[in-house]
Amino acid sequence: MTDLPMPQSGAAPVPKSSLMVADTRTRRRNAAEKRFRLYGAGAIGVALIALVVLLTSIIGGGAGAFRQTYLSIPVALDAETLDPKGNRNPDEMSKVLTLSYGKVLDRAVDAAVGSSEIEITDLSEKDISSLVSKEASAQLRNRVLADPELVGQTVDVNVLVNGRIDGYFKGRVTMESAAADANTSPQQLMLADALKEQGMLVTRFNWNFITNPDASDQRPEAAGVGVAILGSFYMMLVVLLLAVPIGVAASIYLEEFAPKNRWTDVIEVNISNLAAVPSIVFGILGLAAFINFAGLPQSAPVVGGLVLTLMTLPTIIISTRAALKAVPPSIRDAALGVGASRMQSVFHHVLPLAMPGILTGTIIGLAQALGETAPLLLIGMVAFVREFPAAPPEGLFDPASALPVQVYNWTQRADPAFVERASGAIIVLLIFLFCMNLLAIFLRRRFERRW
């Protein structure tokens, strides 16, 4: 026996802890565990919510760019104004300025509004004439010059309406905002409503957004991404032709042939550092080396392509090397064993086997280059370009824009209609990127081989 005080009664001592009942410490630890798990799930939730909000805000804001309001009215193409000499010769007719077409169009709009028996108090002359876009008369002119026989006839035309009216049907412009806006008025919007009821104003899918070039500040309704798509395409062409061969060749050397010495160490460190250099620094390099030193033209796709090539090279090299590394050494040994040279073993056996991986990496590198903006700003791609570049190779030296730069350009304009255009251009860009990534995933699933 001990001297310790014994429990008074004969009941069994109450155990301090039990596996069945959690004590405070265990409960605290389990609560901490649960909290930690919740943080993790919360982090993923935040990331997913951010993604969803980002995409919905861009797509919601940009979907409007793909729909556009048109006014369809009959226009009497007055022969005396449009073809004063009366011989229907396009060369002589081209001396007639867009202004005259604007007057013809004005008369037609007046007539259409007059004949439709719309009664709106305080409707001014300016409200009626500014209903159609400033771009509409140029469109009409192009159509007539392409087909001079139209002169003298009355033709049905579909012309763009003013960006404010278009914005009214998309909910961007309201009666209240119109009252404060010098470019439109509530009366004009009422007129637009009335015309819409009569079926003269229609909102439909807007192919012109994809095919048109950029338009000036006052006519957002006519702006499109045609030149930008073509410019981006040209740049991708340059990147594909330069970055892929150079990148693959460099990777083959570094992975298969390079001796382990100081020089190759320098190259390796260099490539991994280049991959992390901010893209804008490549823009400075492009400006200093290609434009100031080499004298290449500004805003040319070839310069953009060269800059993007230098930028994507590290990405392509890193992924190509991973693909080459994944080919097992037994393939090389077998080729060498039957008498192939090292060069033959690489080019005849290793490279074809690594091809799917190389292609996947290349497409991802290209997708990265397609979305890159900052370096292109510095080599003058922000310039306002309305002419489509010519076919390559000369077209590579013509001024052009690029999709992401066009987006930036539109965000710098005053009219809020351009914000919708910018989001629309981003949708186009994202569709391209989506297709490229899909292709990369498909290639990886279809051809990737596990050793």
Partner 1 sequence: MPLSWALLASLLLAVAGYLIGRSRAFAVAGSDIRSLHSRPIYHGASVALMTLTPAIIVMIAASLLRMAKALSPEAVGLVGLLALAAGIAGLGWGITRIGAGYQARNVVERIVMGVLIFCSSIAILTTAGIVLSLIFETGHFFQKYNWLDFFLGTEWTPRFQGNSALGILPLLWGTLYISLIALLVAVPIGMFAAIYMSEYASKRVRGIAKPAIEVLAGIPTIVYGLFALITVGPMLRDYFAQPLGLGNSGSSVLTAGLVMGIMLIPFVSSLSDDIINAVPQSMRDGALGLGSTPSETIRQVVLPAALPGVVGAVLLAASRAIGETMIVVLGAGAAAKLGLNPFEAMTTITVKIVSQLTGDNDFAAPETLVAFALGLTLFVITLGLNIVALYIVRKYREQYE
Residues 45-74 interacting with partner 1 (rule: CB under 8 A): 46-48, 50-51, 53-54, 57-58, 61
Q: What minimum distance in Å lies between the beta carbon of 311 and partner 1?
A: 9
Site string for partner 1, 3-32 (x = CB under 8 A): --------------------------xx-x
Indicate whether 79 belongs to the interface with partner 1 (CB under 8 A).
no
Cis before 393? omega within 30 = yes
For partner 1, the binding residues in 282-341 under the rule CB under 8 A are 282-285, 287-289, 292-295, 310, 313-314, 317, 341
Distance (Å, whole) CA 287 – CA 393: 21
Q: Which residues contact 196 (CB under 8 A, 6 or more apart)?
A: 169, 202
Which H or E run includes 74?
strand 67-76
| Window contacting partner 1 (CB under 8 A); options: 63-71, 163-171, 227-235, 244-252 | 244-252
What lies within 8 Å, CB to CB, of 378 at 6+ separation is: 280, 283, 284, 286, 287
CA distances from 164 to 102, 109, 143 (A): 19, 17, 25
Contact positions with partner 1 (CB under 8 A) in 109-148: none
What's the min distance (Å) between Cβ of 57 and partner 1?
Answer: 4
Instruction: Give the residue with the Cβ less far from partner 1, 160 or 285.
Output: 285
Q: What's the min distance (Å) between Cβ of 440 and partner 1? A: 10
Site for partner 1 in 421-440 (CB under 8 A): 422-423, 426, 429-430, 433, 437
| Span 393-422, contacts to partner 1 by CB under 8 A | 393-394, 404, 407-408, 411, 419, 422
Cβ-Cβ contacts under 8 Å for 66 (sequence gap 6 or more):
205, 206, 209, 424, 427
Instruction: Give the footprint of partner 1 on residues 339-398 (CB under 8 A).
Output: 341, 343, 367, 370-374, 377-378, 380, 382, 393-394
How many residues can be counted in the chain?
A: 451
- Give kind and range of the element (H or E) at residue 261: none
Stretch that binds partner 1, among 89-97, 113-121, 280-288, 326-334 (CB under 8 A): 280-288
d(CA 172, CA 162): 13
Amino acid at position 161, single letter: V
**Which CB atom, from 123 or from 267, has the smaller least distance to partner 1?**
267
Nearest C-alpha neighbor of 162 from the set 127, 132, 204, 129: 132
